[in-house]
Chain A
Amino acid sequence: MSFNLPNPSLIGILFIVSTHSGPQLIYKYPFDLKTSTYSNLFQKQNNLKNYNVKLGVNNFNDNDKQKIKESYFRPIDDIEDDELYDYKNSDEEDEDELNSQLVDDCYNDCEQFGVSSRNWDSKHSNYYLGTKLDLLRFLDEQDYKRKEQIQFQQQNLEEELASKNNQTNVYDTNSNHARLFHTFSKASIGSQSTTAKSSTSTSNFTSSINNDFFELEPSYLCEMLSPPKKMCNTRFEVTLNDKIFIGLPIHKFNDGKWRVDDSTPPNLASNEQESYKLNQDNESFSPDSNSINLNMFHMVFIMNPAIVENNYRVDEMYHHVVSKISIALRYEQSKHEYITKQTENILLLRDTIFDEHLLTERSQLCKLIKDCYIMISSSKIATLLINNRLRTFQIPIKTEFDALPDASVPFIPRSYLSSSVNLLSSFGLVNPGETLRYDQNFTKNMYNEDDVSYDSLIYFAILLLDDPDSIIKDLKTQSNSKLARFIKIIQPTETLIKLSLKNSNLTINQIKSFAYHLIYWRKGRMIQPISPRSVYVTSPMAPLTMKLYDDIPKFSHQFPTLPSLPHFLKLLSPQVKKPESFARIIPSKDHRDSYIQALAWLLRNGYVTELQTFIWLKIPRKIKIKVEEEIENETLSKRIRKDSKATVDDSKNVKKTDNSSKQETDNVVNDSLKIAQSEEKSKIQNNLSNLKDHIRKNASVNLSDEEATIILDPGRATTLERRWISTIIHEEHKLSSELTTVFYKILKYMNGKNSVEMLMLKENVSRSDIKKLFNALGDNIILVKHW
């Protein structure tokens, strides 16, 4: 539906090795990639899981899980099964009736009006963008679903209570859970879905590694997926109909090594080293006679993305997961023969164990493949144990935007909108969402400013997306570790640099790396530090229609003493002349902390965004005229000077200077085309000559003179612009020397790209100085407020 929504489209992972006896499928997960219809089912299941994406904002307990499933909207192109959405709960007959009425109703409409796939109107989502029918009906369904939900929760609660009373009842509860999931996945694959979900329940039907999948014998596929050496050690991609097999096959080099060892210096010593290594290799191969002679291994990811998303999804998977895992495996293989050992192990186990589930439990490699599939296909972070070393892989989700997406572009609710995202993305910290649907240019790097300084990161603050304790728990760090202590001191009001100053035991580099860590784990978000003096407004991306229903109770639960969420939001959307600083809505000093907390909550949940100020410098017409006159005078006086020195080539010189003054202006005109708007007139001559022609013909139409010019990039001002600037501050506004210093300090930020809030932190300029300066410059400083 859009690149903003996570959709890994992963339908399975295969692990293939090639030995002297040819290619062999070692493991596959899920076990039953049996028929092509299965892939569909899995796909659906994936879709469901996708919306379980943990944004870090919510720590859901089990009961809530369904809610998440419902609340993340489903992709529109989701396949044909939604009508199965009814609860198979025996004692809910009335409800079923009602539901089926709804369904019938819609069906009739669908048929009548040619709305072919009902799946488009997402029965479960709270998202109107998904519905093909009219709004009221959608709301009815939504309402209905919510009520169902509440029932289910209550029912669950009861059952859980019951099971607590009666320990023997555990199995029932389990099955109930299974049923729950079952109904939600709406797919009649019962055992299948539960296996994927919880490893506790085992599937009934025996799965074997030798089963066909996608109606193909594994051996054929195997052959295809163990490419000749020339296609190895590079991206591998084969498409069979709609299924894409992507991987990075790792083939042994001719010298028997798995990696090109860059570290070995090309000198005599390297020879020794190499021979030593060769010996080592030989040793490792020789002792065990059973040892397989591994030539190649290949972890293949099977995907079936929608056609329009094809390239993007495959690239995403390859860059973030496939290549990284393969390289990690290669490392372990080259250092520790990891793959060889694991493969041998699996082959041995297969002799005795016929149950794939059991096998998976016994083998580390199998386990990691399974975990990888489960986590990646549900857009979560996969933490995999590779040779007893934890490594993490994930496809980053897009929850941050620097520009407002089009009305037609779906995004994950609670996404965050701020122009600082642009800067952060240039650090590789965040993955900004696309603003146009399937934007062609989207995949290209958006931020190509060369003056990105990595250091500006320290002027941001971290907003934790969860409460510190649960983050510490999730990160599995010791509660007295440095990271844990850091997490506890994080305040959204304080920049990283401030944090490091306050806590002498943490260096700024440590803090930076912790910040990266938290963001990577989707536990934190970089924001401009919260300040009561900043201006906050409700974000245009606020999930009002989608999330308010859930969030009103949550908010009141978290802040019982504060006004309700709607009231709070109303305070942030004043009906007066313009948005005001947050301090204005804090009733008293005592409320300050709780209001800031609430604000942090709102930021975290995407309701609010900071309104930042961006500035440009305007040069009024009279300054331009003045400067022009000055230049003329100067050249005149120059000429006079020259004239006085004039010799034989007198006339020539005069001509030259004459021209040069003109040329200079002209050059400036052309040079600054990109940078400044200074030459409006000439621009109009060039670009709007048509209009001018017309105007000449119709004398009545006037292009109002471009009385003023806005300088776009004062940091790289032309000579002429610099003259204007100095004229404006010295002669027009007669700035005091302090203000002049301030002015020159912030001059380079007057390009509409850097917010005043940020530059105050960066350049350590006080708010009052800025205010004074702006007052002094009056109309000639242009302030624009946006996020």
Chain B
Amino acid sequence: MDASDGFIPIVAIFYAVFHPIEGTKIVHQFPENSISTTTKSEEEDDLENEFFNFDTVKNYVIPKPKLCNRLISFKINKFKVIGYPVNMQSEYYSRNSFSFNFCFVFRYGIGDVSPYESAIKKMGEMFQVLEEQNKILSKLDKENIFCKNRNLRNEEKSKKVDLESYTTTIENYDQEVSTPNDASMNAPGHSKTKQITLSSIESLIQQIYQDLNNYSECCIPLDNSNSVDIKLFPILPPPVNIKAYQVPIATVKLNSLVDVNWDPTMIKILPYINGLNSVKKISELADANYLLTKQCIQHLMHYKCIEIIDIFQFSNIYAPTSTIGDFLKFDSKMAEECQAYVVTTDSNDYTLPSSYSNTPIANNSPKPNEFSPSSNFKKFAQSNSISPYTKQSFLSRSPKEYTNSHYLNHFANVTVPSKTKLFHLYRSLNQSLTVKEWYIQNKDDLVNIDIRRFINFGILRKIIYRVYSYPLLNSITRSLESGDEFQYDKYLKMTKHEKKKVNDSNDNLLKTKVNEQTLKTEGGRRKVSFTNSHNSDKVITKHYNSNEVIFEDESEDSDSDESGSFHIPLSERRMRNSNASSSQPRYSNDGFMFSTDDEENEDNIEEEKFINLIKLLKGFQHFDSICTELQISRTEVEKMIEKLGSFRIINS
């Protein structure tokens, strides 16, 4: 039988019990005779049709009672057997205990059996309860061998718990089974009912076997309130943690998936997932909390509804990867898909200028997460925000469908670029060429090609990769080289002071305070570190670091309880507060507020941006990340960094 949905097929199911006389034995199995139950001599190695000899493994099928009631799997020959052996102690039973196990047999080493495990466990637990309440399994034996005193069963009947109450754990037997429980059980000749129940367990495992293999699920009613319901789910790895600057791009029509039960944040953010907005940007546009947005997007990614690309800008650099050769491979069909995906509606007069004008060539550094959408661009973007190409989505979309899509009909004289040409375009990207420069070089070849789609296609198919640019502040390098990190903090302070003086010569007292407060976080830490490391030097250190440290030291103590003051325990809090707009009222009561003075507030924000920038620089983040975090364009970031000193850009 074929594996459906990628689950490996069950090759057999058997039901085994510990027989008071015969020991562990298989009562039923399906398919019949899969597992040899005859005792053979050691040498005589079996088995054409049989998987393994039951005798060998019976101690694993029904292990010692202490090992029971847990999921046990074992390997035997080329098979893996999973079961949930149940052992029940009760005076009712002939040996004061009763053990059974429903075992599932799989081929070993051909796939993952973990989707079955929880189902098997659940099934074992369910039958355990049913046995406990109804003796549903032990009763099945014709000789009633499991029962110590057959008369006890009458008493048992009265003890029986109502099955109806038992909906959560599924199951019990068909009505025929429950009937004997109620009435015919007392009758001396219950052979009839027994027969039915016996066959029912046989048919039960047969049906489980067939349904799970064919449909990956089964729903077998046992009586009006209980049933064996199993559905297999693939076990996916936990969601990946995505970053603020990454851009989700849908692989399916997300809107078609929405139903009423969806998370409100999810619904809020959906319209903004268009392959252009970064995660952070989405959270802002949707006015949703960043962390929640991130989680939502991670979930979408978990279910493969989106893929992650980078922020498209004309200042980006892309270069071929080692898998670029796949583009030419015949069987991959990548080239055709690319042709269909990147071809755009028309020639120079519309697409190129529009996409071009939107990604500011003039200043060479577009805002990473903000495409100031000119009207042209909007059009352009709209057509793009339909599902992009991905492995999954492409299969469901033939090129025809694509070319048939509304817009191709509207335009005349579209020439689909040849594959050789597309390949040539991909290969002409390199590690030190921005998209803009590349465009200028290849302008003639790019007619009818949507550049953003072209790049996205390359990224998603991994034939090109994004080369990120990392700004590295020289002063950071120097301070690290000299091994004196704290010196760096000091250095920064100086710069800021100077800057302050230059910029705000008419400054007021408040600003100075802000500045000091800025220092406080870092200064505080520095102080701590020095205190601990050179106790003897403490005093000197403090002096050395100027009186600010001491001042901060005092202020820090007051942080926790003083509210409404200027003291903000952690600079990032401030940052978050300022960024988080109205969505985080928590912080406003939290004891730190900005002065009502607008001007000062601005300064505050400005100041924070610098602090954050420094943090980001010290964390060696790339431009995309910095721009996203500070929500300003790359040009602005560069200007800000310049104020801090000279820097180098590394492309990696």
Residues of A within 8 A of B (CB): 76-77, 89, 91-92, 94-95, 98, 101-102, 105, 108-109, 112-115, 120, 128-140, 142-144, 146-148, 150-151, 154-155, 158, 216-217, 220-221, 223-224, 228-231, 235-241, 307-308, 310-311, 402-404, 406-408, 419, 435, 437-438, 537-540, 542, 544-545, 548-549, 552-553, 556, 564-567, 569-570, 573-579, 611, 614, 616, 618, 673-677, 680, 683-684, 687-688, 690-691, 693-695, 698, 700-710, 712, 752-753, 782-787
Contact = CB atoms under 8 A, between A and B. Distances in A.
Contact of A690 (B53, B399, B467): B399
B404 to A, nearest CB: 6
Interface in B534-579: 534-535, 556, 569-573, 575-576
B419 A680 contact: yes
B323 interface: yes
A709 B420 contact: yes
Interface stretch (B67-75, B372-380, B592-600): B67-75
Given A228-B56, A310-B114, A566-B650, A239 B418 contact: no
A553 B330 contact: no
Given A91-B532, A113-B292, A136 B470 contact: no
Given A150-B529, A544-B650, A112 B241 contact: no
Nearest to A230: B56
Interface string B407-425: 0110111111111110110
Given A102-B570, A702-B413, A140 B615 contact: yes
Given A91-B532, A113-B289, A694-B404, A537 B431 contact: yes
B547 to A, nearest CB: 18
A694 B400 contact: yes
Interface stretch (B90-98, B231-239, B450-458): B231-239
A677 B409 contact: no
Contact of A706 (B240, B418, B618): B418
B629 interface: yes
B333 interface: yes
Contacts of A102: 570
Contacts of B301: 408
Nearest to A235: B75
Contacts of A220: 63-64, 66-67
B71 to A, nearest CB: 6
Interface in B284-329: 289-292, 294-295, 301, 308, 319-325, 328-329
Contact of A553 (B324, B408, B416, B480): B480
B462 interface: yes
Contacts of B421: 704
B529 A216 contact: no
Contacts of B70: 240-241
A692 to B, nearest CB: 9
A132 B408 contact: no
Contacts of B64: 220, 223-224
B308 A408 contact: yes
A331 B629 CA distance: 61
17 contacts: A76-B241, A114-B295, A131-B241, A135-B244, A135-B629, A140-B571, A220-B66, A236-B75, A240-B70, A407-B308, A545-B621, A549-B480, A553-B481, A570-B472, A577-B433, A702-B414, A752-B324
Contacts of A569: 648, 650, 652
B652 A706 contact: no
B651 A538 contact: yes
A568 B412 CA distance: 51
Contact of B321 (A138, A236, A404): A404
Indicate the size class of the contact surface on chain B: 35 or more
A549 B620 contact: yes
A556 to B, nearest CB: 4
Contacts of B409: 698
B649 A573 contact: yes
B427 interface: yes
B241 to A, nearest CB: 6
B112 interface: yes
B519 to A, nearest CB: 14
Given A143-B618, A694-B403, 13 more contacts: A94-B524, A136-B615, A406-B462, A545-B619, A552-B481, A565-B477, A677-B328, A684-B336, A688-B399, A691-B416, A694-B408, A710-B423, A785-B427
Contacts of B328: 616, 677, 710, 712, 752
B570 A570 contact: no
Contacts of B237: 308, 437-438
Give the residue among A136, A570, A700 with the most B Cβ atoms within 10 A.
Answer: A136
Contact of B465 (A89, A98, A404, A576): A404
Given A92-B532, A238-B72, A784 B481 contact: no
A140 B336 CA distance: 48
Nearest to A574: B432
Given A140-B572, A566-B477, A133 B291 contact: yes
A142 B291 CA distance: 19
Contacts of B639: none
B167 interface: no
A602 B652 CA distance: 13
B385 interface: no
B650 A573 contact: yes
B625 interface: yes
Interface string B148-168: 000000000000000000000
Given A570-B648, A786-B321, A135 B533 contact: no
A155 B291 contact: no
A691 B525 CA distance: 65
Given A139-B616, A308-B237, A573-B651, A556 B481 contact: yes
A688 B343 CA distance: 15
Contacts of A548: 472, 620
B48 interface: no
Contacts of B331: 674
A245 to B, nearest CB: 9
